[in-house]
Structure 1
């Protein structure tokens, strides 16, 4: 027996329906994985609402999970039944008890990393890895701004940046989240209701910043640009408040010859060698204790709608997992 959360039409959380679905058989190059834990990410909301298009309906959404291989298809040589694995990128389909997926996107888990931890950290942790180590290699002594610093990616980014020797300024939505951000290494915390650019200017004594990591999107885009020093880089990697549209590129010139990038994890992990190297980097920093994965919410997979409501309302902190 197999159950999944399916989407028959895009819309609100109520469109997520728990249904019995067939047990799939792995095709050549695929593995059948029984999920032990499924990651909850804002990208799931984008697919649910239709901001990101699903290939067809009905659809099973979800980008991240961890579990155990139950069977492999023809041509799969580096995985076998019983292997513990995790993945962080699509195709979508993680909101299920069992699924088939291309074997080349699966990463074997070390014995000392649990399935729940893996499901909570793969997408968010690999995102932090490429942001800090590849999109722009963070240098010790630099000061950076991390929006949504008490969120899943934000907490990992903050801890990892601190381990690399950076000073971290974080934005959060409440005093309670400010305490969480400080507890995970934020040197300075700014409430999202404050004048963010003015506070950054004050904290940096007018120097401003070489880089801003922005997962919020539309609501923070202008403020993020105003936080940058000349030649600074805005890394816009999320749309929590909606997509950034209608940008006049001339504003980058007038604000100091700035740079903007819109990276995706899919691009950075497209080559399996890169996926494995990035995963090993993530495993190492977590196992060392420099980055702690905080699973602050758990939900039954059947209650995914409630999880989406909490995530959209910004009631969650750290990482959340869905349990099949």
Structure 2
């Protein structure tokens, strides 16, 4: 087999977006359990910012990117669910998706249905699988039933807009928060029952008003530091605070006793990569995602496209909360 060259985005040290450098790398053949894939589009996610900044530290140098879609070029020994020529998409560790071609573990790579475009596949895997494990697997005591209230922060982002639509399909009453009236309108247009501009009003007070003082069964929070304390006040007794990100910074240490005082509530910190730790769980989750997208109940909104070489600007816009929906890098 030939060893192609690939353009890739790499950092040599943690830091700001200026650390993102376009380099050329040689790509070898896949080993056992691996594939080589040629990307058609790459997804951009906030976890990429965490890894670049050092909030999630990695050994250097580091090629960034957790999500992409393309065509399998070669498969290594032991890979049976994929073959050369397959359309495929993934959200996967280790990082490395910001490139034209890469060799990577096959475990989390799934065949992409013909009805779903490469751009949509690249935009939806990490964010869609995140929405799946939140709404279907990260549940309060007794689970969630049609008519239950849930609170979802950053609801106009990539994960949020998928969650708004999926929650509506499940019959849930999703209360969205976002940082502008425009973003609130976007969440409502995608299935949220209510939307709160947290820059203009006290979201905790508004949640209590919407729920007649009862609170919500679960809060899904990828914002972190800025929303944490008030989110706890939004929960009904025995409710669940589900943290899955730190866009505003990590949550400060807190005394467990406050959970009792606020209604014997539960706290969990979730990450996608625990849920997709096996080939079987990855495929089962992806099948649900492909089904809900294929049915039209969830539409993947791509609001920003950047060329691979413009990735510095993409990171700046993401960190400045200037983006909505999903963002992809084009190759």
Whether the TM-score (by the shorter chain) exceeds 0.5 is yes
What is the aligned counterpart of 2:304 among 286, 297, 300?
A: 297
Stretch moving more, 135-144 or 45-54: 135-144
Match of residue 8, structure 2, among 4, 27, 46: 4
CA distance in 2, matches of 1:132, 1:282: 12
Indicate the RMSD between aligned Cα atoms, in angstroms: 0.9
Distance in structure 1 (CA, Å) of the matches to 2:169 and 2:78:
41
Contact 1:138 1:161 (C-alpha < 8 Å) held by counterparts? no
Distance 1:289 1:246 in 2: 42
Query: Is the aligned partner of 1:74 residue 2:80?
Result: no
Structure 2: stretches of 5+ with no match in the other structure = none
Matched, 1:317 2:320: no
Q: Normalising to structure 2: TM-score of the pair? A: 0.96
Structure 1 residue runs of 4 or more that deviate by more than 4 Å after TM superposition: none
1:49 partnered with 2:53: yes
Show the counterpart of 1:32.
36
Kindly state the Cα deviation for residue 12 of structure 1 after the two structures are TM-superposed: 0.5
Asked whether 1:163 is paired with 2:166, we answer no
Shift of 1:206: 0.6
**Alpha-carbon contact 1:86-1:118 (below 8 Å) kept:** yes
2:231 corresponds to which of 224, 227, 237: 224
Partner residue of 1:18?
22
Given candidates 97, 120, 132, the residue that maps to 1:94 is: 97
Q: Deviations over 1:274-321 (max 9, x none)?
A: 111110000000011111100000001111111100000000000000
2:63 and 2:325 map into 1 onto residues whose CA distance is 24
Gaps of 5+ in 1: none
Provide the residue aligned with 2:136 in structure 1: 133
- Aligned mates of 1:184, 1:208 — CA distance in 2: 23
Q: Measure the CA separation in 1 of the matches of 2:197 and 2:28.
A: 47
1:77 CA drift (Å): 2.6
Q: Look up the match of 1:103.
A: 106
Matching of residues 186-197 of structure 1 within 5 Å: 186-193=192-199, 194-197=201-204
Aligned residues: 323
Distance in 2 (alpha carbons) for counterparts of 1:146 and 1:154: 7
2:92–2:109 CA contact under 8 A, matched in 1: no
